[in-house]
Amino acid sequence: MFDNLFSTTPDTQITSVSGRLTRTCIGGFLALAFGVGSLASPLVANAKTLAEMKAEYQRPTSVPYPEDNPYSVDKAELGKKLFFDPRLSGNNQLTCAFCHNPSLGWGDGHSLGFGAGMGRLGRRTPTILNLAWSEPLMWDGRFDTLEEQALGPVGAGVEMAQNLETLVAELEEVKGYQVLFNIAFPGTGISLDNIANAIATFERTVISSIAPFDLWVGGDEDAISASAKRGFELFNTKARCSECHSGWNFTDDSLHDIGLPNDAREEKAADGSMIKIEGDIGRGEFFKDNPALQYTFKTPGLRNLPARAPFMHNGSLHSLEDVISHYNTGGYKRPSLSRSMKPLALTDDEAKDIKSFLLTLVSNDPAVTVPILPR
């Protein structure tokens, strides 16, 4: 799935992911909750104006759908039912929504996710919010599209543990699904591809609503506080967050090492001996011979952060204050750490202003209704 490596220059590596080129800023700046970079630093001679910075965060006017899986109401409604249906799991108890809970920012609120048999997973559950604009997917960027990703957790033994070879047959036994698939996919009915396409179509409808920040960008100067306005300027200048957290969803969709401590550890085996558990090296698992790619993880968006705590791929930081403090200190030093990852010298007041700004990205999203499942 991961092909050629075209460059090994720190901070500007280009990799090929299933034939599609994606930019990866190797050392990573603030990849998991904030960014560090060089946009509009006060020390840069041609720093951007406030209006220019605001213009870079305009909300899109339409949702992107792939040509081979265009939107339809019927497909999205079917995908929602599948997303909330425990029959997609091997034990008929887990749903996609079990880990991607709308009331928890489409995450699960835990430091590490849970899977089949309530076993702990190795990473925090990522949100599915605004994924229509956020490919590739997963913390290590292993999937290029939502269609590719949709059945990954369903078939994973440690997650939903469903046998994909029998899933189609199980759904075909449900008359309600026979009808819904024939409406959404005329002539093809129930198949793994159509299950994935329906779930992906629904997931692209999971979009954060207009937040106070969006109103301010649109011209309402009273929409956010003076502290938040200072925080936005810091976000784009001294704190250098916008290098990785760019655009309306505040992500560059790349993968970075932002200097979280290595989580390698020793655990006691059943026979009493101690075994070494290697730390999570993210995308480095696919490029073990490239030291620059070790510990790189995907940049998440920053919308609706309070509902999505704890933060980082391993849930190791529990508050926005913890996150800001981490970046202010410069992160754990190692060869893959971004050269831009360095102490920021933010004052306490500046850190508070950045938090105030981040809270303006919180929107009052409509309540999600759990669908009636087919019988």
In this predicted structure, what is the pLDDT of residue 342? Answer: 87
Convert the pLDDT of each residue in 186-207 to its tens digit: 999 999 999 999 999 999 999 9
Instruction: Give the start-end residues of each E strand in 110-247.
Output: none
Confidence of residue 262 (pLDDT cuts 50, 70, 90): confident
CATH number 1.10.760.10 given to 2-62+209-359: yes
Instruction: Tell me the pTM.
Output: 0.86
- What is the average per-residue pLDDT within 212-227? 98
Confidence of residue 276 (pLDDT cuts 50, 70, 90): low
In this predicted structure, what is the pLDDT of residue 340? Answer: 76
2-62+209-359 and 73-203: same fold?
A: yes
In this predicted structure, what is the pLDDT of residue 275? Answer: 66
Window from 25-29, 114-118, 334-338 with minimum mean pLDDT: 25-29
**Average pLDDT score over the chain:** 87
Are the C-beta atoms of residues 291 and 335 closer than 8 Å to each other?
yes
Question: Is pLDDT at 52 greater than 70 in this prediction?
Answer: yes
**Pairing of β 265-268 and β 274-277:** antiparallel
Q: In the block, which residue shows the tokens 């019988």? A: 375
Question: Is pLDDT at 267 greater than 70 in this prediction?
Answer: no
- Of 335, 333, 306, 299, nearest to 321 by C-alpha is 306
Percent of the chain that is helix, strand, coil (3-state, to 5): 35, 10, 55
Question: Is pLDDT at 37 greater than 50 in this prediction?
Answer: no
Convert the pLDDT of each residue in 321-371 to its tens digit: 999 999 999 999 999 997 778 899 999 999 999 999 999 999 999 999 999
Topology given in CATH for the domain delimited by 73-203: Cytochrome Bc1 Complex; Chain D, domain 2 (1.10.760)
**For the chain, domain boundaries:** 2-62+209-359, 73-203
Question: Is pLDDT at 228 greater than 60 in this prediction?
Answer: yes
In this predicted structure, what is the pLDDT of residue 196? Answer: 99
Convert the pLDDT of each residue in 147-185 to its tens digit: 999 999 999 999 999 999 899 999 999 999 999 999 999
